[in-house]
Structure 1
Amino acid sequence: MKKISLFLAFILILSLFVSGQNVSAAVTPTTEAPSTEIATTEVPTTEVPSTEAVSTEAVSTEAPTTEIPSTEAPTTEVATTETVSTEAPTTEIPTTEVATTEAPAQVTFVPDTTTEKEVTILHTNDIHGRLDAEPGRVIGMAKVKTVKEQEQPTLMLDSGDAFQGLPLSNYSKGEDMAKAMNAVGYDAMTVGNHEFDFGFEQAMHYKDLLNFPIISSNIYKDGKSVYAPSTIVEKDGIKFGIIGVTTPETATKTHPNNIVGVTFLDPLASVTAEMEKLKGQVDSFIILSHLGIDTATKEIWRSSYLADQLAANKSFQNDSIVLLDGHSHSVIEHGMVNGNTLLAQTGTALANIGKVTYTLDGSKLEAKMITEAETANLVGDAEINAIVNDAKTKFNTLTSEVVFRNPVTLQGEREYVRTMETNLGNAIADAMEKYAQTGFAARGDFAVTNGGGIRASIEGNKDVTMGDIIKVLPFGNRISQIQVSGQNVQAMFEHALSATVVEKNGKTGLDANGGFLQVSESVRVHFDLSKPAGERVYGIEIYDPALKQFVPLDMNKIYNVTTNDFTAAGGDGYTMLGGAREEGPSLDVVFANYLKTADMTKYETTEPIRIMPGDAASYVPPVVSTEEPATTEEPATTEEPATTEEPATTEEPATTEEPATTEEPATTEEPATTEEPATTEEPATTEEPATTEEPATTEEPATTEEPATTEVPSIETPTKEVQQPAAVMTTSTPSPAAHTKEVTSTEKEEGLPTTGEHQGAPIAAGGSLLAGAYMVYRNRKAA
C-alpha cells in the first residue's frame, strides 16, 4: 500500500509539472511567414493619380498614391457625371453606363465599312490670341476657316492655350477668340494652362461661350471635376471618343490666385480611366493633350510618355489612337508613330495647321503641316474677318485709356535697347522685379528681359495709354521665373555681352543684339569690352535685402531669376537657362500696373548704372558686412515669408500645392505625412522585413513591459504591427528573422502576453509538488 501511494504521488507530481509546461507552450504565437502581396500596388506606374481606373487592373483601387490632393478619391465618379453636362452635341451617349460594356471592346472593328474609311483631322494648338493674320508669320483665324472649307476634314480640333496671348485677344479675355473659333466650326478643344490666365471664373465661362465642348479629364476643384472629361462626336457613321487632358504644370504656369483649390491629376491615369469608360461605345480614340514634350517637364507628364504607355496597353491594342498635343510649342512635322498611336503637334501662334489622316484599322496613320506660306494667297473667311475687325475697333477704344502721365522720355529704339542699358529697359525690368516679390512661389532675386522684345520708346511729358505700352511690348510675352545657378548667371551675362565690338560715331560699343539684357535695380554687371567674348564680365553684384547692400555673385547659390517666357525657354541662345518655370500675366499688363504708381524720376538719367563698361584692373568688389550674404538674402523682404508671398491674400496657402504638382503633385504627399496620423508606420516601412515586432530583436530582452500590450512601448513594435497593410496584421513577424534564430522557451515567452493561465502554471506545479510531498510524508509516518 505504501508503495502504491508513493507511486501515485510521483505520477501526480509529474503530470502537474508537465501540464504547466504545456500551458506555456499553448500561448506561443504562430509566426507564419506571410508577407506580402502588398507589392502589387505599385504596378500602375501612374503612381501620381488617384483615378482608380488607372491602367484598369483592380490594383488601382488602393489609396493609389493619392499624391496631390486628398480630394482625388472622387476622381472617377465625378468625371462620369460631367461628361454629359457640356457635351450637348452627341455627348449624352457617354454617361455612366459605360462600365458594363468594357468586355466587348473589339466591337469597334466589326463593321468593315468603317475600319477602311479614311478619317481626316485638322488641328491647332497654342494659338495664343492670334486672331489676325500676319504675312510670313501667322495664318490668322479667317484663313483657318478657309483651309477647313477646302480640306473638308472629318473633325476640327484644338489642344488648348487659344485665348491668351496677343493684346488684341487679351483685352476681351479671350471672348473674341471664342467667337472666331465658333465661326471656324471646331468640334472640341482641351484646356491649356493659360485658359486660367484671366481667372478661374473666366475659365469656366468659356464653357458657355463656346458652341463646342471644352474638355479635360484631370482638372478638379475641391474634389470635383470642373470640365467634362470627354465627349463623343459622331461623323460619317464613326463615333469618336475625344478625351482632354491638361498639364499639371498649370500649378506653376498661371498665376496661383487663378487656381486656388484646383488640382491637376496624373495625365496617364486620368486618360486611361476615361478610355475604359468609353470603350465599347466608340470606334476611335482621340486624345487632346496639353502636355508637351519638353525635357524640362516631368517625364510622366509628357505627351510622349502618355503616347508610349497607351501604345503598350493591351486593352487598346486594336484601337487606332491619335494624340493631338500642345504646350511645348513643338513642331512635330510628320508626327511620332508608335504602333497604333500617333502623336502630333503644330508649334505655336498659328504658324501651321496640322493635318492627320488615318484609318480605324491602323493601315494608315499620317501627319503633316499646312504652313503659313501655303496659305499666303488664300482669302480669309468674311464672317471671321468681321469678328476680327470688330475686335480691333473695341481694342483701340479700350487701349486709348490713359495709364499715367509720363514726365521723362523712355528710350526704346532698336539701336539703344539692343546695345546698352536704357531707362525704358530699366523701368520694364523693375516692373518685373516688383511683380516677382509676390507673384511667384518664391521672391525673385532680380529681373532681366531681352532688348529685342522692346519695340518702341515712350515720349515724355505726355499721357501714356495702354496702346502706347502695347507698342513697346507687342508680343504678348508672359512674365516667368526660373531658378539659375550663380555659375549660369555668369554665363548668361557673358552671352548677353558677347556681340561684336564696333565703332559708331567715334565711340566703341557692342553691335545690335536682340539678346542684350536689360536688368532690374537689384543687379549690377561690370564688363570690359577690350576682352574677347565670353571673358568680358568681371563683376556681378546682387542686392541682398537682408544686409541692405550689394554682395558679389555666389557661384554656388541658386537664384530666382525673373524674365519673360521667351528668354526663360532659352530664346536668343540662352541655352544655359531653360528648365522648369513659373509663369504669370503678359508683360504689357505687368508694366502698365507698375507705371501707375512708380516714381519715374529715377529714370531721368541716361548714364549706365546697372550694366557698366569698365576696366577689370580698377574694379573693387563690394565689401560684405557679414560672411554669408547669400544665405540670408531670401528672407529679406519681411512681408513675404515664402508661403504668403503670392499676393498676400489668404488664398495663398493654396499655392503650396503648386510646387507639388510642380512636380509634383505627385511626389511630396506620398510620404503619408498628412493622411497617416500614425506616422510611426512610415519609418517602419524601411525596416519592416528585418526587425518586425518579433521579440527576437535584441532591444526587447526580458523587459517585463513588453508583453504588457501588443504594441510594446519600445518604438519599433508599434510601428511594425501598424505597417502591415490591413490584409494581414499577423504577418508582422518577418519569417526569416523569426525562424533562423532558435530561441529558448524563456525567450519565446518574453514577447507573449502575460495571461493568467501562463503565469499560474508554475504556481500550480509548485502547489502540487508540496501536496505530493505531504502525502509521502503522511504515508511514511503512518507506516
Structure 2
Amino acid sequence: MKKKLTAYIVSIMIIISSFAVQIPVYAADTSDGSVSITVFHTNDMHSRVLDSFKNNVLTQIGSDYVSAIKKSVPNSLLIDAGDATQGLPFATLTKGADVIKLMNAAGYDGMVLGNHEFDYGQDNTLSNAKLANFPVISANTIKNGKPFLEGINGNNGCDFIKTVNGIKVGFFGITTQETSYKTNPANITGITFEDPIATSKAEVAKLKSEGASVIIAIDHIGDDPSSNPTSSDIAKNVDGINVIIDGHSHTLENTVVNNTLIAQTVCYSANLGRLDIKISPDGKVTAAENMISAADATKYTPDSNVSNLASQINEKQKQLFATKVGHISTALWAGTVNNQSIARIGETNLGDLIADAMKDSTKSQVQGTAYENLPIVALENGGGVRDSIPEGDITAGEISTVLPFGNILSLKEVTPAILYGVIENGVSKVVSQDQTTGVLNGADGRFPQISGIRFEYDPTKPSLNRVNKIYLLNADGSDKQLLDKNDTTTKIVLVSNDYEVSGGDGYTMLGNLKNIGEGASLDGIVTKYISDLTQNGNGTFSYPMVQGRSKVVSNYVYKPYTAAITLVGSDSKNLANASVLYSIDKGTVYSANTDANGVLKISNIPSGAHTVSILTSGAAADAYIDDLIGSGTVSPVSAALQVSNSYVAEKVTDIINKIPDKVTLTDKPAVTIARAAYNLLTPDQKTLVANSNKLTAAEKAINNLNPAPASNTTAPVSGKSNSNTSNAKPASAAKLPQTGSLVDTNLLIDLGILLLAIGAALFAASKKNTFKRLSQK
C-alpha cells in the first residue's frame, strides 16, 4: 500500500488536531428511546502497535492506549481495516505474529485482510488469522471456489454479527483487487479477488436476512483516484451500507456518499477513529465520525497489561535481532561516516547492495506479467540507508538499523525521458565541486543508490540539467544501451520504495504514475538477498567498494590523494607510535606505524572511495576514505579500534587466505605478513583463526624451498624501519599506496637475495638457449 508524503501527513495531522477533541461517552440507551453504539477503528498500521514518542510527545498510538480508550466506553467495538501485520522490523521478525498478539491484547473485534497481509505468503496469512482472537475476514478473497478464510477459528471468512446493546451489527470484509499485483504474485497463487461491488451487494442482503440492523463494511479499498473501484464507488452502487470503515489509501476520510459514512484515519497509528452510531426507535441509523489524535490519546492511562506484554515481546525480539542472517568479508558503507552523509552524496556499496536486492525481488514480482521482459531499474534514496554494516556476521538487527522505516517495494512504469528526470532530481541538490580538491558538496536524502543503470553527471552545471548519460547495464555490470533522454515510448520498470514513488524527496514525476506493483518490506527483501548471497558463496560473500554506477564528469582532474586515519583505542585514547598492518580494499597488506598523535598516513591512493582494513595488537578497525567528499584529506578520519575476538580474528583469517594453496618463493612476503598478523592476536583470538594450519604449512613449504632462520618468517613486523623510506616508491610498486613505514629490513634483504637468485638463473638459462622454455614454465 503506498504511503503519502511525510509533509502531506504532517499537514493532515495539523488539520486533525483542529477538531480532534475528547468525545463524550454516549449511554447505550438515550432519553428518546434510541440506542448508541461506539466503534473504534484503525487502518494501515503497518505494525505500528507500540507507543512512539518524539521529543517526549506521543506520535504513535500504541496498543496499550488503544485498549484503554476502548475500555473507557462500555460495550464498544474495535475494528481494523487491514495492512496491520507488515511494515517495521518489529513485524518482519515474526512475520506479523507479534502484531496479532498485541491486537488480541488490545481487544480487537474484527479485521479485514489488507494486501500486505499476504507479504509473507498465504500460509503465513492463514497462521496469523488462526492466531487472532477475533474474526479475520474477506468476502471477495476466494480460493478453490470458497472464501479463503473459511473455517478459520470457526468463522465463515466473509462476515460476522456482533450484538451490542441489543442491536445486531453486521460486518463484512472486502479486500482490494489490487492485491493481485500489490504483493508478490507468488504469495497469492490460486487466489482470486472477486468484484468488490457485486460481493458487497450480496453481503448486505445476507446480513440483513440474518437480522442485522446496522451494516458496516470493513473495506481495504481506499479513495485513491487510480484505484477501481474506490470506496466511494462501492457506496454509490451498493444500498444499505451504513458505514464503510476504509483503508488502503492512507488518507483522511469522513464523508457521506449515498447515505453511507466513509471513514479512514490516515495511517501508522497516528490517529484512532471513533464512530458513534445511533439507532432510533423506528430503526433509522445515523453515524458520526470523530478522530482521536495521539495528543488526545495521552488523556487516557495506558492499559498496563498490554504495556507489559509489549515489553515482554520487545525483550524476546532482542534475541531475534541478534539472529545471524548472513556473513560478509568486506565492510558495507552507507549512512553517516566520519560525520559525512556518504550515501547522500555518492555511490556506496551498501546502497548498491540494497538496490540490487530490490531489482532481484522485482524479477519475481513481474514474472508472468506484461512487464516480465522489460528492463528493471532500481532506486533507493540515500537518505533511506541509515547505517553501515561491518565485516563479519550480519544480524537481523543490523539490517533493521540500516532500513528502519518499514518502506516497501513499489513499482512504476517509466520511459527513458522520465528516468532522466528522476536522476536529475536525484543529483539536483549537489551544490558544487571544488576545483582544487575535487570535493563534492550538497548531500541530500534524494541522492540515488541504483541498480540496472549507471549515469554520468556534471555537478558544475545548473540543477536539473546535469545528467549527460544514462546507460542500461548487462547482468555483469557492463554497458548495454545508452538511453535517449527524449525517448517517451520505450517502457522500463522502475522499482523504488513507496515513499519515493509517491512523490517524496522531490520525485514528483513519479507521484501521478500508476502503481504497477508492490512488494514486501525492504528490510525483508534485503535480508533474503544477503542470506542467498551467503549461501551461494559457501558461507560468505563480498561486495566491491564502488561499481561506477554514478560518475562525476567535470573539468576537474582526479589525482591520487593522501589519507590520514586517527586510530582510537577502546580507552578513547589515540593509539600513538603503534605498529599496524593495513590493506586497501582487501588488497596487499602493508606494515606501518602511527605517529605521535595516533595518525596513520597513507599516500598515493587512487581517487575515489576505499576501505582501509587495519590490524594492530589485539584490535582491528575498518576506515572509510573518499577524496570526493573530503574524507581523510582535509582532516584525519577517525577509526575506532574494535577488540571483539571474532572481528579481529576474521581480519587475520582473511590475510592467511591470501596465501596460495601451493606456495613458491615469491609468496614469502605474504607468508611473512600473515605470520606477523597472527602474532598480533591475543590467545583467545588465535583460537578463532580456523586456517592457522594453512599458515604453518606455508611457512614449512617456504623453508623447504629456501631454508632460512625461523626468526625471518615468524617474527612479528615491528613497524620499525629506516625513516628515509617514508617516501620511497620502488619501480615495482610505483602505483601502490605508500606509508611512513614498509615491511621490515630482514624481509627486504630476503627479497633482494631472491631477486639476485632469479636474475642469475635467467642469465644461465639464456646461455643455454633455454630462455623461451623457462619463460613458458
Fold match by TM threshold 0.5: yes
> RMSD between aligned alpha carbons?
2.8
What does residue 446 of structure 1 align with?
377
Q: Secondary structure in 2 aligned to 1:156? A: strand
After superposition, the Cα gap between the structure-2 partners of 1:337 and 1:510, relative to the gap in structure 1 and judged at 3 Å, is: farther
What does residue 193 of structure 1 align with?
115
| CA positional deviation for 1:430 | 1.4
After superposition, the Cα gap between the structure-2 partners of 1:189 and 1:528, relative to the gap in structure 1 and judged at 3 Å, is: same
What does residue 736 of structure 2 align with?
none
Q: Secondary structure in 1 aligned to 2:160? A: strand
1:270 aligns with 2:199: yes
Write the distance in 1 (CA, Å) between the matches of 2:181 and 2:161: 31
What does residue 490 of structure 2 align with?
557
What does residue 307 of structure 1 align with?
235
Letter of the structure 2 residue corresponding to residue 326 of structure 1? G
Which residue among 462, 468, 472 is the counterpart of 1:538? 468
What does residue 549 of structure 2 align with?
610
1:580 aligns with 2:515: yes
The correspondence of residues 355-504 of structure 1 with structure 2, limited to 5 A, is 355-360=274-279, 364-376=286-298, 378-414=300-336, 415-441=341-367, 442=372, 445-460=376-391, 462-499=392-429, 501=431
What does residue 116 of structure 1 align with?
34
What does residue 244 of structure 2 align with?
323
Letter of the structure 2 residue corresponding to residue 585 of structure 1? A
| CA positional deviation for 1:158 | 0.8
What does residue 699 of structure 1 align with?
none
8 Å CA contact 1:131–1:169 kept in 2: the answer is: no
8 Å CA contact 1:498–1:534 kept in 2: the answer is: yes
Letter of the structure 2 residue corresponding to residue 517 of structure 1? P
1:514 aligns with 2:433: no
Q: Show CA shifts across 1:711-769 (max 9, x none).
A: xxxxxxxxxxxxxxxxxxxxxxxxxxxxxxxxxxxxxxxxxxxxxxxxxxxxxxxxxxx
Structure 2: state its 5+ residue gaps.
1-28, 150-156, 558-777
The answer to which of 185-194 and 577-586 deviates more is 577-586
| Greater C-alpha Rg | 1
After superposition, the Cα gap between the structure-2 partners of 1:382 and 1:535, relative to the gap in structure 1 and judged at 3 Å, is: same
What does residue 748 of structure 1 align with?
none
The correspondence of residues 278-289 of structure 1 with structure 2, limited to 5 A, is 278-280=207-209, 281-289=211-219
Q: Secondary structure in 2 aligned to 1:241? A: strand
Which residue among 90, 114, 137 is the counterpart of 1:215? 137
Q: Show CA shifts across 1:55-106 (max 9, x none).
A: xxxxxxxxxxxxxxxxxxxxxxxxxxxxxxxxxxxxxxxxxxxxxxxxxxxx
User: Larger RCO: Structure 1 or Structure 2 (Cα < 8 Å, ≥ 6 residues apart)?
Assistant: 1
Which residue among 126, 141, 165 is the counterpart of 1:236? 165
Write the distance in 1 (CA, Å) between the matches of 2:408 and 2:312: 25
Letter of the structure 2 residue corresponding to residue 612 of structure 1? K
Percent of aligned pairs sharing the same letter:
35
Letter of the structure 2 residue corresponding to residue 342 of structure 1? L
Q: Secondary structure in 2 aligned to 1:535? A: coil
Q: Secondary structure in 2 aligned to 1:591? A: helix
| CA positional deviation for 1:283 | 0.9
Q: Secondary structure in 2 aligned to 1:483? A: strand
Q: Show CA shifts across 1:253-279 (max 9, x none).
A: 222222111000010110111101122
| CA positional deviation for 1:422 | 1.3
After superposition, the Cα gap between the structure-2 partners of 1:532 and 1:379, relative to the gap in structure 1 and judged at 3 Å, is: farther
Q: Give me the TM-score of the superposition, normalised by structure 2.
A: 0.60
8 Å CA contact 2:458–2:468 kept in 1: the answer is: yes
Write the distance in 1 (CA, Å) between the matches of 2:531 and 2:212: 55
After superposition, the Cα gap between the structure-2 partners of 1:611 and 1:549, relative to the gap in structure 1 and judged at 3 Å, is: closer
The correspondence of residues 83-122 of structure 1 with structure 2, limited to 5 A, is 116-122=34-40
After superposition, the Cα gap between the structure-2 partners of 1:155 and 1:223, relative to the gap in structure 1 and judged at 3 Å, is: same
| CA positional deviation for 1:306 | 1.0
Q: Show CA shifts across 1:190-219 (max 9, x none).
A: 111111122212212233212221111101
What does residue 595 of structure 1 align with?
530
Write the distance in 2 (CA, Å) between the matches of 1:244 and 1:169: 23
1:250 aligns with 2:171: no
Which residue among 293, 315, 340 is the counterpart of 2:223? 293
8 Å CA contact 1:568–1:581 kept in 2: the answer is: no
Task: Give the structure with the larger strand fraction.
Answer: 2
8 Å CA contact 2:433–2:439 kept in 1: the answer is: yes
After superposition, the Cα gap between the structure-2 partners of 1:114 and 1:130, relative to the gap in structure 1 and judged at 3 Å, is: farther
Write the distance in 2 (CA, Å) between the matches of 1:454 and 1:339: 46
1:130 aligns with 2:63: no
8 Å CA contact 1:155–1:187 kept in 2: the answer is: yes
| CA positional deviation for 1:602 | 6.5
Which residue among 490, 494, 500 is the counterpart of 1:567? 500
Q: Show CA shifts across 1:379-406 (max 9, x none).
A: 4222112222222222221221222332
Write the distance in 1 (CA, Å) between the matches of 2:345 and 2:430: 10
Write the distance in 1 (CA, Å) between the matches of 2:551 and 2:32: 69
Write the distance in 2 (CA, Å) between the matches of 1:569 and 1:154: 36
Write the distance in 2 (CA, Å) between the matches of 1:545 and 1:404: 23
8 Å CA contact 2:70–2:77 kept in 1: the answer is: no
| CA positional deviation for 1:182 | 1.4
Write the distance in 2 (CA, Å) between the matches of 1:296 and 1:617: 46
Q: Secondary structure in 2 aligned to 1:279? A: helix
| CA positional deviation for 1:119 | 2.9
Q: Show CA shifts across 1:633-659 (max 9, x none).
A: xxxxxxxxxxxxxxxxxxxxxxxxxxx
Write the distance in 2 (CA, Å) between the matches of 1:557 and 1:115: 66
Write the distance in 2 (CA, Å) between the matches of 1:190 and 1:407: 44
After superposition, the Cα gap between the structure-2 partners of 1:343 and 1:246, relative to the gap in structure 1 and judged at 3 Å, is: same
After superposition, the Cα gap between the structure-2 partners of 1:512 and 1:141, relative to the gap in structure 1 and judged at 3 Å, is: farther
Letter of the structure 2 residue corresponding to residue 122 of structure 1? F
8 Å CA contact 2:382–2:446 kept in 1: the answer is: yes
Q: Show CA shifts across 1:327-347 (max 9, x none).
A: 111123xx0112411111111
1:525 aligns with 2:455: yes
Letter of the structure 2 residue corresponding to residue 485 of structure 1? T
Write the distance in 2 (CA, Å) between the matches of 1:511 and 1:348: 32
After superposition, the Cα gap between the structure-2 partners of 1:115 and 1:343, relative to the gap in structure 1 and judged at 3 Å, is: farther
8 Å CA contact 1:168–1:391 kept in 2: the answer is: no
Task: Give the structure with the larger helix fraction.
Answer: 1
| CA positional deviation for 1:122 | 0.9
Letter of the structure 1 residue corresponding to residue 166 of structure 2? G
| CA positional deviation for 1:489 | 0.9
8 Å CA contact 1:480–1:584 kept in 2: the answer is: yes
8 Å CA contact 1:297–1:580 kept in 2: the answer is: no
The correspondence of residues 330-345 of structure 1 with structure 2, limited to 5 A, is 330-332=251-253, 335-345=254-264
| CA positional deviation for 1:112 | 10
Letter of the structure 1 residue corresponding to residue 497 of structure 2? N
Q: Secondary structure in 1 aligned to 2:508? A: coil
8 Å CA contact 2:365–2:519 kept in 1: the answer is: yes
Write the distance in 2 (CA, Å) between the matches of 1:377 and 1:510: 46
After superposition, the Cα gap between the structure-2 partners of 1:271 and 1:617, relative to the gap in structure 1 and judged at 3 Å, is: farther
Write the distance in 1 (CA, Å) between the matches of 2:403 and 2:245: 31
8 Å CA contact 1:142–1:380 kept in 2: the answer is: yes
After superposition, the Cα gap between the structure-2 partners of 1:114 and 1:295, relative to the gap in structure 1 and judged at 3 Å, is: farther
Q: Secondary structure in 1 aligned to 2:355? A: helix
Q: Show CA shifts across 1:343-390 (max 9, x none).
A: 111111111111122323668532222112333465422211222222
Write the distance in 2 (CA, Å) between the matches of 1:417 and 1:290: 36
8 Å CA contact 1:469–1:592 kept in 2: the answer is: yes
Write the distance in 1 (CA, Å) between the matches of 2:478 and 2:440: 33
After superposition, the Cα gap between the structure-2 partners of 1:197 and 1:605, relative to the gap in structure 1 and judged at 3 Å, is: closer
Write the distance in 1 (CA, Å) between the matches of 2:532 and 2:111: 40
Q: Secondary structure in 1 aligned to 2:104? A: helix
Q: Secondary structure in 1 aligned to 2:94? A: coil
